[in-house]
Amino acid sequence: MGVLQQGLSAFTRKHGLGVACFIGLSVFVWVVFLIVLPQLSMLDFSFRYNLPRAEVGGPADVYTLDNYAYFFQGNDGTFNALDIGILVKTMVAAVIVTVIDIAICYPIAFILAHSATGVAARLMVIGLIVPFWVNEILRAFAFRVLFGATGLVNSIGLSAGFWDVPIDFIRADVALYSGLVYAYILLMIFPIFNAVEALDRNQIEAARDMGASWWRVHWRVVLPIAKPGIVSGATMVFMLTAGALAAPQILGGPSNLWFTQLIYQWFNESANWQRGSAYAVVLLVVCISFVMMLMRVFKVSIGEIGR
């Protein structure tokens, strides 16, 4: 609390009381009205029965654990392997997308921070940002066209003789994983870039002069500095991937159901907001627990990520 007060005092002295009050009020409104209250409302819904409108607020409108029990046991009281399996598959897919993004974005962020300069650096940034001017849904449809049976990928593969018949990349989830990796790539690159940029280039040169290989330089010198940025980017990519809806709807195969699609079905197709809220709370708790576990494993604190 003392550190927070010192930070607020320093910010007020630097920018003035008016700016400090405006920023504080904006953050308060954002957190309370757009995060806390909607989540509390959803949590309240998740403990309610799905009643006709006339019975809401009546004697039958009481709290219950039935919506959560349904997730674990279903209607027949047995283990709900289908819904739990979909949740596990969604989490595994989110981890895979996050790992792929880290593998792609780490070298790009390092080059952008310590190798590219002048025009080359600006062109790299423009090349990364400009494609995201296109709407996310349009990008998802573009990936569906790209990986379709008559799309560019199959056309090149067939023309080059890599395969004899078109490959169903949609059913194999290749299009889905590619679309999700691309959708959140900026959220991984820039946190890593911000962390790596703070690294003194002389440390890298000193390690190279002492005979360290590039692999060892990155493992012992760069990665400890980049770790908070990697965890920050991985957190955002993982949470957004697990909560994605548009991309799984457009790019997912007919047998591939995302957990967010289950939530969507409860809210919109079944008109059961109470059960949909329970499923949303389960997804939120699982995602936050997984992220907290990873932070503990990699020994990264919230403060380090915030920097």
- pLDDT of the residue at 66: 92
| Burial (Cβ within 10 Å: 0-12, 13-18, ≥19) of residue 138 | exposed
Q: pLDDT by residue (tens digit) across 44-70?
A: 999 999 888 888 888 888 999 999 999
Domain layout of the chain by residue ranges: 1-37, 80-306
pLDDT of the residue at 2: 55
Task: Pinpoint the alpha helices (H) of 56-80.
Answer: 66-73
**For each of the chain's 307 residues, which pLDDT tens digit applies?**
555 566 667 767 777 778 878 888 998 999 999 999 999 999 999 999 988 888 888 888 899 999 999 999 877 778 889 999 999 999 999 999 999 999 999 999 988 887 767 777 788 888 888 888 888 889 999 999 999 888 999 999 999 889 889 998 988 889 999 999 999 999 999 999 988 888 877 888 888 888 888 888 888 888 888 888 999 899 999 999 999 998 999 998 767 789 999 999 999 888 899 999 999 999 999 999 988 888 888 777 776 666 6
How many other C-beta atoms are found inside a 10 Å radius of the C-beta of residue 295? Answer: 17
CA distances from 264 to 49, 93, 252, 273, 305 (A): 18, 19, 15, 9, 31
Q: Is 48 helix (H, G, I), strand (E, B) or coil?
A: strand
Confidence (pLDDT) at 305: 65
Each residue of 245-273: pLDDT tens digit? 989 999 987 677 899 999 999 998 888 99
| Distance (Å, whole) CA 242 – CA 224 | 27
Enter the DSSP assignment of 148: S
The first and second tokens of residue 170, run together, are: 């949609």
Structural fold of domain 80-306: MetI-like fold (1.10.3720)
Q: Which tokens hold the place of 163?
A: 């395969």
Two tokens, residue 258: 């995302």
Q: Which of 182, 190, 170, 181 is nearest to 94 (CA)?
A: 181
- Distance, in Å, from the CA atom of 252 to the CA atom of 86, rounded to the nearest integer, reads 13
pLDDT at 153: 93
Instruction: Look up residue 301 and give its amino acid.
Output: S
DSSP 213: -
In the chain, where does DSSP find H-type helix? 2-15, 17-31, 37-46, 66-73, 81-114, 118-129, 136-146, 152-160, 174-183, 185-197, 201-209, 214-217, 223-242, 246-251, 259-264, 273-297, 302-306
Distance CA 193, CA 113 (A): 6
Give the integer Cα–Cα distance in Å for 154 and 15.
Answer: 57
Give the Å distances, CA to CA, from 52 to 30, 42, 201, 265.
33, 18, 66, 19
For residues 129 and 112, the answer to whether their CB atoms sit within 8 Å is no
CB 183 within 8 A of CB 242: no
CB neighbours of 39 closer than 8 A, spacing ≥ 6? 284
Q: How high is the pLDDT of residue 118?
A: 73
